[in-house]
Structure 1
Amino acid sequence: MSACRSMPLRQAASILRGLTGAVLLGALSIGTPAAHADAPVIPLGKVIVHDPMMIRDGAIWYLYGTGRGIPVYSSADLVHWHPRPRVFQAAPAWAHRTIKGFDGSIWAPEVAHVDGRYVLYYAVSAFKKNTSAIGVATNVTLDSSSPRYHWVDHGIVVQSMPYRDLWNAIDPAVIRGRDGGLWMAFGSFWAGLKMVKLRADGLRLATPQQWYGIARRERPPFFPETRPGPAAEEAPYVFRHGGWYYLFVSWDYCCRGVKSNYKVMVGRSRSVHGPYVDRSGKPMEQGGGTLVVGGDALYPGVGGNGVITSGGTDYLVFHAYDASDHGMPKLKIKALHWSADGWPSVSQAELDRPGLGRSGHTGTAK
């Protein structure tokens, strides 16, 4: 989401208004459970969402995205989506106190299931600055109609500050390593993406702290530390498959509508904290990355992804800027194809087709 800060504020605000207005179709605020049977049904190709994140609770899939209060949708089949109450009626008070320039829009949510409850990570930030923080909230259920449904905010997990940090605390993604430890990848622009170990409950950083650099693109020397720079890389997501950890990232620029040129790249490692390398063996910490899916004439920019598994098929979940609809970000769920040597991709031909896309495995990942 942070690529918005490299564009005029007026243009970025226009994108966010689209996400928090017509996109939500009147979704209710927290504390007012939606009548599920009466909620409008939005087909997959019409769902407008930025930085989509998806998780299942029982038989229902829940979709979270960037916007005021964090918009939420639900679906039983990944095709028909219902708006649900937003996570927050208003952004937590600490966000406004801590982040100067925060406009109330919450970025790039991530939800994990940790020790019997759901843990939601989210980013608050200011445009064109690494004045940012990742917060965390918990709930015992994702079903807003349940009497047990209640989000409890626990404040800041990690924070970045200009002049102190050459990294940016946004775009969180959480994965459990083979050793049982909980790790969070995050970051955008500046000196690249980071991985840090979390406490067992997922609410704070582990002690002693363990930090790793996992991906970055070249930043010009002597570039002002307070500016994001041209090293456009963000939105990390780590997925385990076939004995490897795969690090998916978004390159280039989001949030510019039809002028967006976002694309999804990947590298892999045997260790959760890297080093990650691309298909040619180039480290992602040195600018490496193998293309998973890029834009085309209809969807010029695609990214902000996650990965889910349903019915034995792995799907890439991402947003794509729709050139036929003024560049609005549309939800895409497309099957990942795994090559014989274990590299994922999305068929470029499938990008423009409606629906989930076709599953395809051209070999067994090694």
Structure 2
Amino acid sequence: MRFSRLFVSLVSLAASALAYPNPISGSSTLSVRDPSIWYNPSLQEYFVFATNGNIGIFTSSALTGPWTYRGAVLPNCSNIQLAGNCVLWAPDINYINGLYTLYYSVSTLSSQSSAIGVATSPSMLPGTWTDLGQVIRSNPGDLFNAIDANLIVDSDGGMKLAFGSWWNGMYQIGLWPGVNNEASALPGTHLAGANGRSAEGVFVYKPSSQPYYYCFFSDGLSPGAGATSYPAAGAEYKVRVGRGAVGQGPFYDSAGHPLTDDISPPTGTIVLESHDNIYAPGGQSVFRDPVSGRDVMVYHYIPKSNPVGSQSYLGINYLDFSSGWPVVVT
């Protein structure tokens, strides 16, 4: 027991002393929140999608930029009849059955009157998106909030949609037969978070090099543009992760705790946190870059050197899974 406690303490000290690399060059001038990234091999361009502007579209021929604003996914707003349907949040991009498929959130701050919608496109370019409308919805009193969607195609070929922010955590349901068809009852499988924990932005990812599925999420508080103060030191956004044998969990952190446990310190192994000039990194998504053949994480952060209330910017780093846990590298 004493040895076990000592080992855990040494691991914790090593983790706290970990030096995180800065984002790769080329994106420090691109202001975004909740970025999601994909690559179009026909156009030989990377596409980044971001919150606000009815899901802004930015493209580049390289991960190192320069990035060009191309327009909006849904310039005429979502057809979901909820407050916030012209201020869309948290895009999640994938490629399903020959179409680029983007999930988005419709809500207002601190509201549970929320919905997740989906749009499809043959190319990801502006003007090519078809809004398929609502997939799921939440209402005041539900265990979950229907925002921050993430789609994964599991090893059995089934589509799974994860979602959730604060409230009683993050969940996952099945979709079938289409990308907009709920196939299992809400709220579904509990993935992470509980009891009003400030955790959101779930993203389930399986690297080709590992047998595990990894459940990333953003933990803490994320000061937005216009904020007048920052949270207490250590309470700001950071990226955490757990891993499991299958895409619907259960997921465990490196200490062996299920991500759904309500304990202190909170569950989830830290992947990235504030360091150097990078403050409150989060809103992450991960994809396999077909050009470099590497796993890539994109996220937003606030430059520490900027005044309180400043905008957030795009961060891009590679991930190394060789230890069995994701490590941020350049």
TM superposition score category, shorter chain reference: 0.7 to 0.9
How far, CA to CA, are the matches of 1:333 and 1:64 in structure 2?
13
> Quick one: structure 1 residues 70 and 210, their matched pair in 2 at CA, closer, same or farther if it must change by over 3 Å?
closer
Kept after mapping to 1: 8 A contact 2:47/2:57? yes
Kept after mapping to 2: 8 A contact 1:183/1:196? yes
How far, CA to CA, are the matches of 2:205 and 2:85 in structure 1?
32
Q: Does 1:189 align with 2:160?
A: no
How far, CA to CA, are the matches of 1:93 and 1:198 in structure 2?
20
Q: Does 1:44 align with 2:27?
A: yes
Kept after mapping to 2: 8 A contact 1:186/1:194? yes
> Number of paired residues?
286
Q: Does 1:329 align with 2:274?
A: no
Q: Does 1:114 align with 2:80?
A: no
Q: Does 1:268 align with 2:243?
A: yes
More helix by share: 1
Q: Does 1:77 align with 2:62?
A: yes
Kept after mapping to 1: 8 A contact 2:77/2:85? no
Paired residue secondary structure (1:300): strand
Alignment root-mean-square deviation, CA = 2.0
Q: Does 1:173 align with 2:140?
A: no
Kept after mapping to 1: 8 A contact 2:204/2:214? yes
> Quick one: structure 1 residues 208 and 92, their matched pair in 2 at CA, closer, same or farther if it must change by over 3 Å?
closer
- TM-score if structure 1 supplies the norm length? 0.74
> Quick one: structure 1 residues 209 and 301, their matched pair in 2 at CA, closer, same or farther if it must change by over 3 Å?
closer
- TM-score if structure 2 supplies the norm length? 0.82
Q: Does 1:88 align with 2:60?
A: no
Matches within 5 A, 1:333-344: 333-340=316-323, 342-344=324-326
Paired residue secondary structure (2:157): coil
Kept after mapping to 2: 8 A contact 1:197/1:210? no
Residue in 1 that maps onto 2:201: 235
How far, CA to CA, are the matches of 1:207 and 1:216 in structure 2?
20
Query: Of 278, 281, 300, which residue of structure 2 is paired with 1:302?
Result: 281
Single out whichever of 77-86 and 205-214 deviates more from structure 2: 205-214
Paired residue secondary structure (2:77): coil
How far, CA to CA, are the matches of 1:115 and 1:256 in structure 2?
36
> Quick one: structure 1 residues 103 and 180, their matched pair in 2 at CA, closer, same or farther if it must change by over 3 Å?
closer
Single out whichever of 103-112 and 67-76 deviates more from structure 2: 103-112
How far, CA to CA, are the matches of 1:271 and 1:73 in structure 2?
33
Query: Of 250, 272, 276, which residue of structure 2 is paired with 1:293?
Result: 272
String of CA shifts for 1:47-85, please: whole Å, max 9, x gaps.
Answer: 110000001111211000000211110111111111111
Q: Does 1:155 align with 2:153?
A: no
> Quick one: structure 1 residues 336 and 170, their matched pair in 2 at CA, closer, same or farther if it must change by over 3 Å?
same
String of CA shifts for 1:83-104, please: whole Å, max 9, x gaps.
Answer: 111112231243xx334xx373
> Quick one: structure 1 residues 158 and 62, their matched pair in 2 at CA, closer, same or farther if it must change by over 3 Å?
same
The structure 1 segments of at least 4 consecutive aligned residues displaced by more than 4 Å after TM superposition are: 207-210
Paired residue secondary structure (1:104): coil
String of CA shifts for 1:133-168, please: whole Å, max 9, x gaps.
Answer: 001111111134xxxx521111110000002x1210
String of CA shifts for 1:13-67, please: whole Å, max 9, x gaps.
Answer: xxxxxxxxxxxxxxxxxxxxxxxxxxxxx94111110000001111211000000
String of CA shifts for 1:331-354, please: whole Å, max 9, x gaps.
Answer: 0111213353x011225xxxxxxx
> What amino acid is aligned across from residue 128 of structure 2 in structure 1?
H
Query: Of 120, 124, 128, which residue of structure 2 is paired with 1:138?
Result: 120
TM-aligned CA deviation for residue 208 of structure 1: 6.9
Paired residue secondary structure (1:285): coil
Kept after mapping to 2: 8 A contact 1:197/1:209? no
Q: Does 1:123 align with 2:100?
A: no
String of CA shifts for 1:228-265, please: whole Å, max 9, x gaps.
Answer: x4x10000011102111000000001134572610000
How far, CA to CA, are the matches of 2:298 and 2:161 in structure 1?
19
Kept after mapping to 1: 8 A contact 2:173/2:185? no
Paired residue secondary structure (2:278): coil
How far, CA to CA, are the matches of 2:46 and 2:159 in structure 1?
23
Q: Does 1:315 align with 2:301?
A: no
Matches within 5 A, 1:271-286: 271-286=246-261
> What amino acid is aligned across from residue 253 of structure 2 in structure 1?
D
Unaligned runs of 5+ residues in structure 1 are 1-41, 220-228, 348-357, 359-366
Query: Of 33, 36, 53, which residue of structure 1 is paired with 2:36?
Result: 53
